[in-house]
Amino acid sequence: MYWNASIETMPAGKLKELQLQRLKDTVRRAGQSPFYRQRLAQAGVSADSLRSLEDVGRIPFTTKDDLRAAGREMLTCPLTEIVRLHASSGTTGQATVIYYTRQDIAAWADLVARSMYMTGVRPGDVFQNMMGYGLFTGGLGFHYGAELLGCLTIPAGAGNSLRQIQLMQQFDATVLHIIPSYALYLLATFTQRGVDPRDLNLRIAFIGAEPHTEEMRRRIEEAYGVKAYNSYGLSEMNGPGVAFECPEQSGMHVWEDAYLLEVVNPRTLEPTPPGEIGELVFTNLTRQGMPILRYRTRDLASWDPEPCPCGRTHRRISRIQGRDDDMLIVKGVNIFPIQIERVLMAMPEVDANYLVELTRENFNDVMHVKVEVREEFFQEDLRYLQSLQKRVTEALRNELLITPKVELVEPSTLPRGEGKAVRVVDKR
Ligand code: ADP
Ligand code: ZN
């Protein structure tokens, strides 16, 4: 049932002790990098001065800009000990680069294997990894974890829809790793080929890398006949395997033996109470080559201290609500793209994809929402489509408190790349 029972079910008090020990080790280690040597000295923080986990608050935060500026100044060891680099996908600007020692790669693979095992993946499963291989951590990160667990691993990579389906069929894939928006997009190709994904051998899908809603998960589960597990990670914290859903599917366990979690109010930077949305801040507890202290992820979620029925003691976080920096301000109203998705995915007439465009007309913000409508509904008459458009507009207005201009478009007509979906184009 557990990949590493003693760690996964470690009593909370013991886990905290382990974290404090590892925090001290990490601060000591980080101090060997030019960047943190200076940072920590300025802040007057040394490993020995940390007496409790709360003392982590004395360490300055690290931001994406810090990583960009510091580059290899963040390394704690000579380059001869570094065996790999990855870069974030650069969703919000210039990519940041992360360096790994051999030991870092092994520790990361172990966390991914632990996450996969938790959901019921076992040796003998055929794992099709449909994430981009290369600089993006989603591909190789899962690949190493799946091999360590003992899956037959298909390094399918991203895109090439037809080939993906052929691979699933030919090798009887049982487990998929797929970007959620791509999972829905791929359904059109299944339909074209006359293949029902539910007739394949699939039983589990890992979906992550981009924010998505419960409605989206349910759609994927239904269409593919799988259980879909939310998978969270970021390259700054290795990549996938930071937080992962267990079979309870009620929040994601953060692997607290490897990552120290804080959730803070992004304005005041004070810790938020359980259940309140805040910014996730992580500190590496086991990384050797490039440990990062108090990394501000910009990702928004809440935390849950309640014990989980699965027996794991590691705290859970909610679904990611979006990034602090992808909040839109339209006509003075704060909007998160995920709110739009929640409304759209709850409407059975809406197909896989949507696109939000923001423009300024006569000094006013205008939000255009292009929505793909399912084939069977598109065949209805004009009056029907007009009433549908009105319903979509009203549902969005109820959620967002502003009135968007809704345009219904045919299925599979909105642009779709291979990686993370681009849902918002701000032309203002
Ligand atoms: P980038 O920041 O350039 O996208 P990464 O490839 O490191 O680079 O992506 C990590 C980010 O992806 C996270 O910080 C988060 O915003 C998003 N992400 C990853 N997994 C999930 C998930 N399960 N749900 C929501 N967002 C996620
Ligand atoms: Zn659990």
- pLDDT of the residue at 122: 98
What mean pLDDT comes out for the span 306-333? Answer: 93
| Residue 162 CB neighbours (<10 A) | 11
What mean pLDDT comes out for the span 174-189? Answer: 95
* Tens digit of each residue's pLDDT (9 = 90 or more) over 333-369: 999 999 999 999 999 999 989 999 999 998 899 999 9
In the chain, list all ranges with CATH 3.30.300.30: 327-426
Residue 395: pLDDT band with limits 50, 70, 90:
very high
User: Superfamily assignment of 1-323 in CATH?
Assistant: ANL, N-terminal domain (3.40.50.12780)
Whether 418 shows a pLDDT value over 80: the answer reads no
What mean pLDDT comes out for the span 138-164? Answer: 97
Q: Whose CA is nearest to atom 11 of ligand 1?
A: 234
The token pair that represents 196 in the structure block? 């029902």
Whether 51 shows a pLDDT value over 80: the answer reads yes
* Tens digit of each residue's pLDDT (9 = 90 or more) over 108-129: 999 999 999 999 999 999 999 9
| Residue 172 CB neighbours (<10 A) | 13
CB 407 within 8 A of CB 368: yes
C-beta 235 within 6 A of ligand 1: yes
Reduce the DSSP state of residue 399 to 3 states and report it: helix
DSSP state letter for 276 = S
Measured distance CA(428)–CA(410) in Å, rounded: 26
What mean pLDDT comes out for the span 225-253? Answer: 98
The token pair that represents 111 in the structure block? 């966390």
Measured distance CA(379)–CA(397) in Å, rounded: 26
Which burial class, exposed, middle or buried, applies to 124 when counting CB atoms under 10 A from its CB (0-12, 13-18, 19+)? exposed
pTM of the model: 0.94
What mean pLDDT comes out for the span 83-106? Answer: 89
Please state, rounded to an integer, the average pLDDT across all residues of the chain: 95
Which burial class, exposed, middle or buried, applies to 227 when counting CB atoms under 10 A from its CB (0-12, 13-18, 19+)? middle
C-beta 144 within 6 A of ligand 1: no
Measured distance CA(191)–CA(181) in Å, rounded: 17
| 316 CA distance to ligand 2 middle (Å) | 8
Please report which ligand is nearest the Cα atom of 308. Answer: 2
The region of weakest confidence among 74-78, 206-210, 260-264, 381-385 is 381-385
Each residue of 354-364: b (16+ CB within 10 Å) or e? bbbbbeeeeee
Please report which ligand is nearest the Cα atom of 68. Answer: 1
C-beta 232 within 6 A of ligand 1: yes
DSSP state letter for 379 = T
204-208, strands of its sheet edge to edge: 152-154, 126-129, 175-178, 204-208, 227-234, 239-245, 252-254, 316-317, 303-304
Residue 90: pLDDT band with limits 50, 70, 90:
low
- pLDDT of the residue at 190: 97
Residue 327: pLDDT band with limits 50, 70, 90:
confident
Whether 92 shows a pLDDT value over 70: the answer reads no
DSSP-assigned beta bridge partners for residue 366: 359
* Tens digit of each residue's pLDDT (9 = 90 or more) over 250-261: 999 999 999 999
Q: Which atom of ligand 1 is nearest to the CA of 231?
A: 23
Q: Which atom of ligand 1 is nearest to the CA of 88?
A: 8
- pLDDT of the residue at 204: 98
Q: Which CATH architecture has domain 327-426?
A: 2-Layer Sandwich (3.30)
What mean pLDDT comes out for the span 233-261? Answer: 98
What mean pLDDT comes out for the span 57-86? Answer: 97
Residue 91: pLDDT band with limits 50, 70, 90:
low
| 250 CA distance to ligand 2 middle (Å) | 7
- pLDDT of the residue at 253: 98
Q: Which atom of ligand 1 is nearest to the CA of 96?
A: 3
Identify residue 355 by its one-letter amino acid code. L
Please report which ligand is nearest the Cα atom of 231. Answer: 1
From the list 32, 61, 28, 58, the residue with the least C-alpha distance to 44 is: 58
Whether 89 shows a pLDDT value over 70: the answer reads no
C-beta 323 within 6 A of ligand 1: yes
Whether 107 shows a pLDDT value over 70: the answer reads yes
Measured distance CA(154)–CA(173) in Å, rounded: 9
Whether 417 shows a pLDDT value over 80: the answer reads no
Q: Which atom of ligand 1 is nearest to the CA of 420?
A: 4
Quick one: what percent of the chain has pLDDT higher than 90? 91
Residue 419: pLDDT band with limits 50, 70, 90:
confident
What mean pLDDT comes out for the span 159-187? Answer: 96
Q: Which atom of ligand 1 is nearest to the CA of 208?
A: 23
C-beta 90 within 6 A of ligand 1: yes
From the list 40, 12, 11, 7, the residue with the least C-alpha distance to 26 is: 40
Whether 99 shows a pLDDT value over 80: the answer reads yes
| 232 CA distance to ligand 1 middle (Å) | 7
What mean pLDDT comes out for the span 39-47? Answer: 98
Please report which ligand is nearest the Cα atom of 89. Answer: 1
In the chain, list all ranges with CATH 3.40.50.12780: 1-323
| 1 CA distance to ligand 2 middle (Å) | 12
Residue 416: pLDDT band with limits 50, 70, 90:
confident
- pLDDT of the residue at 349: 94
C-beta 210 within 6 A of ligand 1: yes
